[in-house]
Amino acid sequence: MPVRYDLQPTCVNLHTHESHPVARRPRLNPSETDDDGHYRSRIRDRTRIAPRTRSVVKVREDVPEGSLRGTVVTAAGPSWIVSVGDDLFVCTLSGTVSSPHSETLVTVGDYVHIVPDTTSNALGDATATIVAVEERRTLLFRKAVGKARKGQVVVANVDRLCIVVAFVEPDYHRRLIDRYLIAADKGDLDPMIVLNKCELIPAEFRQDIVDDFQAYVDIGIPVHFVSAVTGEGLEELRLDLIGVSTLFSGPSGVGKSSLINVLTESRQRVGAVSRKYEKGRHTTTAALVIPLPNGGTVVDSPGIREFGMWELDLDELPWYFEEFAPFTPSCRFSPCTHTHEPGCAVKQAVEEGEIDPQRYDSYLQLREELTS
């Protein structure tokens, strides 16, 4: 079984960049309730999301002897690049694959078993066949772009989700951050937020930006202010990445790849192989696993324009806004949607400044989407 790192999240003081450990937020079972019968917050141990795509590959139940265990580090056209120790293989799926994922057989980050071929391909790369895929311990899942009834696995088996946004070009949107936080929670990932391009923040506006992100620090989400240009905050970020696997994800243009290039120079070998199969494309078109010099890995992923939620139930939505939890037991009605009910303690907390109004607005927008 793959090792699950027991992370100790770090809260970063946005004024000084000093960091200190915070208690890990508990993962709770949906059956756990408080003394008043209300669901508790941070319900993480739910059934894994099941992608609903169709495959023509037959699923087998055994793993052939003599196969090699490796990690899918990126896609290469119709193939997958698998790392086995120091070796890279360009892989295709066999006619029968041992996999617990009958709908989405392979994704970046999967632990797979391969059978190497005896010869290289026309481009001189070692090739192999994927014959087995292991159970995924974590995943990031989203609604596929332009496909209302199809989900997309972004990556599997990472420990943390680093939500990368920028001060400008493009401007950050907190509602997008909130969507990422829900997806991280559903996929059992520990989230962190990185605000890049901080060298562009005017001095007179910096405190306003700090205050804007304080709502996340208050609920235990690590936040880093960084600049890939000046190096601001990168040492603290680098320390947070040691020994774990971290997916970098965010909108196009925020500088994910630039940050990763500063943090590590190890992307060149895998990237060189994958680009041969991408027909001249120069932007990130598939997630790419990159080892870090001091241990751990980062995953560079393509920029997004939107992040649609997948398999999110209306009734469970309040669970993902953990700042609601202390006030929910005081609501006059149970269950309470925290929208129109009289005597709603959550709405009162928003009015009194105890719950961040932008987080509450994100909640309302998601409710509207789920009911439309």
- Domain with 111 in it: what CATH number? 2.40.50.140
Average pLDDT over residues 47-71: 60
- Compute the distance between CA of residue 209 and CA of residue 215 in angstroms, rounded to an integer: 11
Q: Are residues 151 and 275 in the same domain?
A: yes
CB 263 within 8 A of CB 298: yes
- Greatest Cα pair distance, the chain, in angstroms, is 72
DSSP code per residue over 309-333: --S--GGGGGGG-GGGTTTGGG-SS
Which has more pLDDT, 40 or 353? 353
- Higher-confidence residue of 214 and 272: namely 214
Helix (H) / strand (E) containing 297: strand 297-300
Check whether residue 73 and residue 177 sit in a common domain.
no
pLDDT band at 21 (very low <50, low <70, confident <90, very high): very low
pLDDT at 330 over 50: yes
Which of 249, 269, 300 represents a domain boundary (last residue)? Answer: 300
Residue 322 phi/psi, 5-degree rounding, is: -65, -20
Are 129 and 169 in the same domain?
Answer: no
Instruction: Tell me which residue of 142, 104, 189 sits closest to 306, measured CA to CA.
Output: 142
| Euclidean distance between CA atoms 175 and 363, whole angstroms | 9
Question: In CATH, what number is assigned to the domain containing residue 363?
Answer: 1.10.40.50
What pLDDT does 270 receive? 56
Which is nearest to 259 in space by CA: 282, 286, 292? 292
* DSSP assigned state of 293: T
For 266, what's the count of Cα atoms within 13 Å in the CB-facing half-sphere? Answer: 17
| 27 has pLDDT over 50 | no
Number of domains in the chain: 3
- Tell me which DSSP letter residue 35 carries: T
**Torsion over CA of 294, 156, 290 and 166, rounded to 10 degrees?**
-90
- Mean model confidence pLDDT for the chain: 80
Tell whether 305 is covered by a domain: no
The answer to whether residue 90 scores a pLDDT higher than 70 is: yes
Asked if residue 235 and residue 330 are part of one domain, the reply reads no
Using the predicted structure, report yes or no on whether residue 35 has a pLDDT greater than 70: no
Q: What is the spatial distance between Cα 70 and Cα 122, in angstroms, rounded to a whole number?
A: 23
> Would you put residue 5 in left (φ > 0), alpha (ψ -120 to 50) or beta?
beta
Domain shared by 157 and 101, yes or no: no
**155/296 same-domain check:** yes
> What is the model's pLDDT at position 152?
77
- For residues 237 and 258, membership in a common domain is answered with yes
Map residue 343 onto helix, strand or coil. Answer: coil
Co-location of 125 and 213 in the same domain: no
What one-letter code names the amino acid at 166? A
Where is mean pLDDT largest: 19-33, 103-117, 295-309?
A: 103-117
* Domain membership of residue 344 as a residue range: 314-371
Report the distance separating Cα 87 and Cα 97, nearest Å.
22
Q: Is 35 a member of any domain?
A: no
